[in-house]
Amino acid sequence: MFTDLTEAELRTYRSDLHEPPDFDAFWADTLAQARSCGDPVTATPLPTPLTAVDVFDVTFPGFAGQPIRAWLRVPRGATEPLPTIVQYVGYGGGRGHALENLLWSAAGFAHLQMDTRGQGSGWSRGDTPDVAAAGPQAPGMATRGIEDPNKYYYRRFLTDAVRAVDAACELPAVDPDRLAVLGHSQGGAAALAAAALAPRVRAAVAHVPFLCDIPRAITITDATPYREIRDYLAVHRDREEQALRTLGYVDAVAFARRATVPARFSVALMDEITPPSTVYAAYHDYRGDKDLTVWRFNGHEAGAIDDDAAAVDFLRTVLGG
C-alpha cells in the first residue's frame, strides 16, 4: 500500500528543514582537514577469473585520512581514460565481492565502488573499519556519535564519499572530466552530498535516497535505519534537540539545495524505509537539472535493475559514452 502522502500531496510537498547556519563552514572545514592527511591512493590489481573486466583493490584516504577500501572495475582492454561512476552502497552493506556488481564496467565505465566504513556485515561484505569513539548508541550506525556533529558517523561517511571522488580522479583509468556519482538509499544520500561538495562531479544518480528530511522521516516510519534514531530518542528523551541539530549537518535536502549538476532521482510509493515524501523533499529542492522516476508499486527496492538501466542511459548521455 502507499506508505505516505497521496500522490497529489507528494507532488507539492516541500520540506521546512532549516540547516544549521554554519553548514557550509562545517563541511569546508571537514573536507579541508580530511584532505590534509592520509596516505596516497593505491590500486592493486586483483587476480580474478574474469576475462572481460579488470578489478583493482583500491585504498584511499577518507575522513581524517583514514584508509577506505574500494573496488575499481575497468573494462579489459580500455586504452584511454573512461567515463567513470563512483558508487556508494546502501545501509548495512560493504563493497561486496570483487565478482559482484559487474554491470557498470561491462557497460564501458570505469567503476569505483566505495566500501562503507564499519558496515559491510549485512547484505554484502566490507573491509573497512570505522575508527571512532562511539557513545551510547542504538545498534547500527545511525546514532553513532549523534550527540555531536563532529563525532557523528555520517560526517565521516559523507567525507569518505567526497574523498572517493578525489581518489578516483587520481586513477589512470578515470577521465576526471567525465565523472558521476551514484547510489541507492544510503548510497543515494552520499551521491547528493558528493554532488554538492565535490566539484569534479558532473552528474548524480540518487535512487530512493536516505537521510532526506530527517525530522519528518523519523516520525513517519518504523523501519530501520530511521528507526534507530527513534529508538535512541525513546531512551535519551532529553536529547531530541541535540540530535536534530547534528542531523541537520547531514540532511540530504541541504545538499540538494547546493548541487547543480544534472541529477536523476527515483522514488517508490510503497517504500517504508525512505518514505516517499522525504525523497520528494530532496528532489523538489534540488538546484540542478533533475528528473524523477516514480515507481508506484515498489517498496524500497524501487526500480532495481530498471533504475540501473535508466541510470546507464542517463550517464551515457551526460558523460558521453
- What amino acid positions are annotated as catalytic residues? 185, 271, 300
User: x/- string (CB under 8 A) for a copy of itself, residues 253-272?
Assistant: ----------------xx--
Ramachandran angles phi, psi of 128, nearest 5°: -120, 125
**Which residues from 63-82 bind a copy of itself, rule CB under 8 A?**
75-76
Q: Which of 99, 175, 287, 292 binds a copy of itself (CB under 8 A)?
A: 99
Instruction: Please tell me the distance from the alpha carbon of residue 5 to that of residue 9, in angstroms, as a whole number.
Output: 6
Identify whether the C-beta of residue 1 lies closer than 8 Å to the C-beta of residue 270. yes
Q: Is 310 among the residues that bind a copy of itself (CB under 8 A)?
A: no
Ramachandran angles phi, psi of 54, nearest 5°: -100, 140
Q: Is 135 among the residues that bind a copy of itself (CB under 8 A)?
A: yes
| Least separation in angstroms between CB 197 and a copy of itself | 25
Whichever of 28 and 136 has its CB closer to a copy of itself, that residue is 136
8-state DSSP, 121:
B
Plot region of 125 (φ>0 → left; ψ -120 to 50 → alpha; else → beta)? beta
**Which residues from 188-247 bind a copy of itself, rule CB under 8 A?**
218-222, 230-238, 240
Identify whether the C-beta of residue 202 lies closer than 8 Å to the C-beta of residue 261. yes
Q: Is 5 among the residues that bind a copy of itself (CB under 8 A)?
A: no
Instruction: Please tell me the distance from the alpha carbon of residue 272 to that of residue 1, in angstroms, as a whole number.
Output: 10
| Least separation in angstroms between CB 297 and a copy of itself | 4
Q: Is 96 among the residues that bind a copy of itself (CB under 8 A)?
A: yes
Q: Is 1 among the residues that bind a copy of itself (CB under 8 A)?
A: yes
Q: Which of 35, 125, 245, 287 binds a copy of itself (CB under 8 A)?
A: 125
Whichever of 125 and 287 has its CB closer to a copy of itself, that residue is 125
Whichever of 23 and 278 has its CB closer to a copy of itself, that residue is 278
Residue whose C-alpha cell reads 574500494 in the numeric block:
70
Three-class secondary structure of residue 271 per DSSP = coil
Peptide bond into 276 cis (omega under 30): no
